[in-house]
Amino acid sequence: MSVTMQPPTQILLVEDSPSDLDMLKRTFSQSIDHTWYLADVDSLDEAILACRSYAAISPDASTFDVVLLDLGLPDSTGLETLMQFRAAVPDTPIVVLTGLDDDEIALQSISAGAQDYLVKGQITLQRLHHTLRFAMERQQTLLKLQQNEARSRRDLAMVQELDKFQLDFVGVVSQEFRELLGVISNAVELLRTLLVGAIDTKIEGFINQIQRSSSYMVEFIHDVVICNYVQSLQLMPMFATCDVGSLARLLVQSARAGLKPNQSIMFQSSGDLTQIQTDRMLLEHILNYLIANAIQYSSAGGDIQLDVQLDLGQMVISVRDHGIGIPVADQPEIWTGFRRGSNVGELSGTGLGLTIVKRCVDLLNGEVVLTSQINQGTMVQVILPMLDVLSIADTSLSTN
């Protein structure tokens, strides 16, 4: 069986002392199970030149495998030697040679970019072999980490660029669709006005269908735009003082205009909600979509209850209805976009409301809990941590 020969380890010795250089070479020569290729120079400038021109010496590699660097050279001394060499040859592992067994020098050298250090006069073959091997391995690990980090930055930049493109694209397309749907809606109203008293029941049904479809598309486009916006990587919560009680009462009052016959919606609160630190826009989306869902999936005559209370440093928002409920099998997927309960029948909806709610809650570092039974109703609880002004300021500073 043939034995595969390992290529020699390419080492550059940067040492201006003939006796120290001779000592190093004699130590290397004691090795019987490893082959070393040694090149030596006695100044920093020559070391940098040797590394940069290494390809001419060994076309199979771009630089030496490892450099043993003395910090006291004719053209440079101390840590400045290491820093200049590291700046000129950033990817080569360096082991510092020092005449002092000084932990402070060792730590400073490693902080400045060396992989390890050896004390002259204490170098044995075993220690030399161990130090060089681990220096090369650590450098390879570092290079891989740097490459992965660079790749991650490129990937993130690409994702952010695509995210911005998606936001812009959806914004432009939605505006175009809104304008077209506006034209259709106006045309239908004009047609109804011009033909008043002259259209039969069948044509009236067609006109109503066009209006319903147009209204649905307007709602659908609105939800897609909101969903696209809140899922954007660029969106960060903007915390400010908000009177949550007043906001909830305002939204409930607006929602009453869309109630079905004999439906009612009630709002109750506990605790001081006038100085809550939150993102008003995200909270408004949460309340609006939860209320809209409760109205949509409840029958005429059903009661809807919105409760907001402060409890142990949390704000708990509960929206309860007595509607059709959500089948247990559908509940795990109900937060996914365009997913609706299998029992909705002909009830219209985009399937984006709870997706938007979940994303807004996530942005506010909260959690959402769903409890639902078929034909008994649904309760959605949103639990948001309460932040004070100082903690928000700290968060703002840490992200800048």
At 58, the pLDDT band (50, 70, 90 cuts) reads low
Distance of alpha carbon 183 from alpha carbon 188, whole angstroms: 9
Would residue 157 count as lying in a domain? no
Whether this model's pTM surpasses 0.85: no
Question: Do 393 and 280 share a domain, yes or no?
Answer: yes
Is the model's pLDDT at 177 over the cut of 90? no
Kindly state whether residues 246 and 370 are assigned to the same domain: yes
The reported pLDDT for the residue numbered 390 is 43
pLDDT tens digits along 321-368: 999 999 999 999 999 988 999 999 989 888 999 999 999 999 999 999
**What is the structure's pLDDT at 38?**
92
**Quick one: pLDDT band at residue 1, thresholds 50, 70, 90?**
very low
| Other residues' Cβ atoms within 10 Å of the Cβ of residue 230 | 19
Beta bridge partners of 315: 310, 384
Instruction: Tell which wins on pLDDT, 169 or 261.
Output: 261
Average pLDDT over residues 79-84: 94
Mean pLDDT rounded to a whole number for the chain: 88
pLDDT at 22: 94
Residue 155's pLDDT band (cuts 50, 70, 90): confident
The pLDDT-based confidence of 3 (bands split at 50, 70, 90) is very low
- Assess whether 224 and 247 both reside in one domain: no
Taking CA 11 as the corner, what is the angle to CA 9 and CA 12, rounded to the nearest 5 degrees?
165
Establish if 87 belongs to a structural domain: yes
Number of domains in the chain: 3
Q: In this predicted model, what pLDDT tens digit does every residue of 206-254 receive, in sequence order?
A: 888 888 888 888 888 888 888 888 988 778 999 999 999 999 999 999 9
pLDDT of residue 61: 60
**Residues 185, 328 within the same domain:** no
Strands 76-77 and 72-73: antiparallel
Task: Say what percent of the chain tops pLDDT 70.
Answer: 93
pLDDT at residue 197 greater than cutoff 90: no
What is the token pair recorded at 345?
A: 């029948």
More confident residue, 102 or 56: 102
- Using one digit for the tens of pLDDT, what is the confidence trace for 291-317? 999 999 998 888 999 999 998 889 999
| pLDDT value at residue 206 | 86
Q: Is the pLDDT of residue 398 over 50?
A: no
> Do 268 and 374 share a structural domain?
yes
Tell me: do 114 and 222 sit in the same domain. no
Among residues 100, 123, 146, the one where a domain terminates is 123
Shared-domain flag, residues 247 and 392: yes
Q: Are 245 and 394 in a shared domain?
A: yes
Structural domain containing residue 207: 163-230
**Residue 100 belongs to some domain of the structure:** yes
The reply to whether 220 and 308 lie within a common domain is: no
3 phi and psi angles, rounded to 5 deg = -105, 125
User: What's residue 24's pLDDT?
Assistant: 93
Q: Are residues 171 and 254 in the same domain?
A: no
| 11-53 pLDDT, tens digit each | 999 999 999 999 999 999 998 777 888 999 999 999 999 988 8
Query: Which residue, 208, 230, 252, sits at the end of a domain?
Result: 230
In a domain, 154, yes or no: no
User: Does some domain include residue 142?
Assistant: no
Of 230, 259, 284, the last residue of a domain is: 230
- Tokens found for residue 349: 């909806």
Q: Does one domain contain both 376 and 265?
A: yes
The answer to whether position 151 is within a domain reads no
DSSP, residue by residue, 128-147: HHHHHHHHHHHHHHHHHHHH
CATH number, domain of 112, equals 3.40.50.2300
Which of 129-143, 196-210, 284-298 has the least mean pLDDT? 196-210
Residue 133 lies in a domain: no
16: Cβ contacts below 8 Å, ≥ 6 apart: 42, 43, 70, 72, 73, 74
Confidence (pLDDT) at 2: 46
279: domain CATH number is 3.30.565.10
Q: Are 248 and 269 in contact (CB under 8 A)?
A: yes
- Segment 377-385 mean pLDDT: 97
The b-or-e profile of 116-141 (16+ CB within 10 A means b, else e) is: bbbbbeebeeeebbebbeebbeebee
Residue 62 falls within a domain, yes or no?
Answer: yes
